[in-house]
Structures are given as C-alpha cells and as structure tokens.
Amino acid sequence: MTKNFLTTALIALALLFTANADAQKFSDLDKSPMDMAAYPSNHRESNKLIKIAYSRPQLKERPVSKLAPTGKVWRTGANEAAEMTLYVPMKVGDKVVPAGTYSFFTIPGDKTWTVILSSDVNVWGAYSYNEANDVARATGKVTTSDEKLEAFSIAFEEGNGGVTMHLGWGNQRVAVPFMLVKK
C-alpha cells in the first residue's frame, strides 16, 4: 500500500511540474530589437557619461520618411520612446541638463533634426508626447553616407569638449553634440 501511494504521489508531482513548465509563454523575437549605445562604448567601462536604450526598426525597402515622418515628433526608434541617461550634467542645445533619465524624441527634417529630452519617462511611442515637459532641445545637421544602414542605429564618439551622438538610418546621418559642463 505504501509503495503504491508513493508511486502515485511521485507521478502526480511529476505531472504537476510538467504542466507548470508548459504554462509559461515566451514571446517571439521582437521585429525591432532593443539595443543600447553608450559612451565610453567599451562595455567593460563602468564610468559612463551617457547611455541610450532604444529599439531598432528595419527599413525593409521603405523610405526613412515613412517610419520617421518629416516634421513630426518621433519616438526615435520603435516601440517605447528611447530613454537616455546622462550620468553627468551636460549642455544640450543652449541648456544645461542635470544628470538623470529622460525620454529622447526627435523631429526629423530634410536638413536638420531636432532632438528633445523630455522629463516624461516610461512612455510608449510619441503618442503622449507633451512639449510642456521638454527639458532641452538641440539641432543636429543631416548628412548622407554611401553606406546604407538597414536598422536604425545610434553611436557615440568623443570630440569638441563633449560627446557627439550619431543617428543613422538608410543613407542619412545626424550628429548631435552633448557638451560636458565644466566645473
């Protein structure tokens, strides 16, 4: 009797754990995977100055202007609005922005893009964008490249007393300076 009870209990326990293992649902890979760019870009460097988390939409034979419309506030990527963390105060445009985390929006243009740091964080897309919550705005000049980028990309480089953020997609490139604040 004890042997049958023990066997039955073990089988029931095994079925319980098997049912729970199958209950977890994992989503498929995102079509616009999340990425991060930071400066310094060395992943082992923990003393970052700036970091941005964003999703990377793909062109898939569509023009950039279809996904990032000219003259309209864009979330700067896909899915959630891009989120930027400044680890030190930086001058963005004509304003000194304190260290902190901000949503990062852009307004694409033919010759320049406007970049916007907003105090609204954890927002989906640009649907709830509110200009009243802008912390700073700056302008980045548009240039073109012979290299075509299928996925929207962001990179940083040091230069001119700060960090330059490079946005790239298709053949368009946009450079935006973030200046270090002298103490």
Domain contains 8: no
Buried b / exposed e across 139-170, counting CB within 10 Å, b at 16+?
ebeeeeeeeebeebbbebeeeeebbbbbbbbb
Q: Give the separation between CA 35 and CA 33, rounded to whole angstroms.
A: 6
Domain contains 123: yes
Q: Give the per-residue pLDDT at 160.
A: 75
Q: What would the DSSP string read from start to end of 87-153? A: SS-EEETTEEE-SEEEEEEEE--SSEEEEEEES--S-BTTTT--GGGEEEEEEEEEEEEEEEEEEEE
Q: Give the separation between CA 57 and CA 77, rounded to whole angstroms.
A: 6
Domain contains 103: yes
Domain contains 22: no
Percent of the chain, pLDDT > 90? 63
Domain contains 124: yes
On the question of pLDDT at 22 being above 60, the answer is no
Coil, helix or strand for 163?
A: strand
Domain tally, the chain: 1
pTM of the model: 0.82
105, 57, 104: which is closest to 79 by C-alpha?
57
Q: pLDDT tens across 91-128, in order?
A: 999 999 999 999 999 999 999 999 999 999 888 888 88
Q: Give the per-residue pLDDT at 32.
A: 86
Domain contains 62: yes
Domain contains 5: no
Which range marks the domain in which residue 145 is found? 30-180
DSSP-assigned letter for residue 38: E
DSSP-assigned letter for residue 8: H
140, 136, 78, 138: which is closest to 102 by C-alpha?
136
Alpha helices in 31-71 (DSSP H): 64-67
Q: pLDDT tens across 23-48, in order?
A: 688 888 888 888 899 998 776 767 88
Domain contains 55: yes
> Is residue 4 very low, low, confident or very high in pLDDT (cuts 50, 70, 90)?
confident
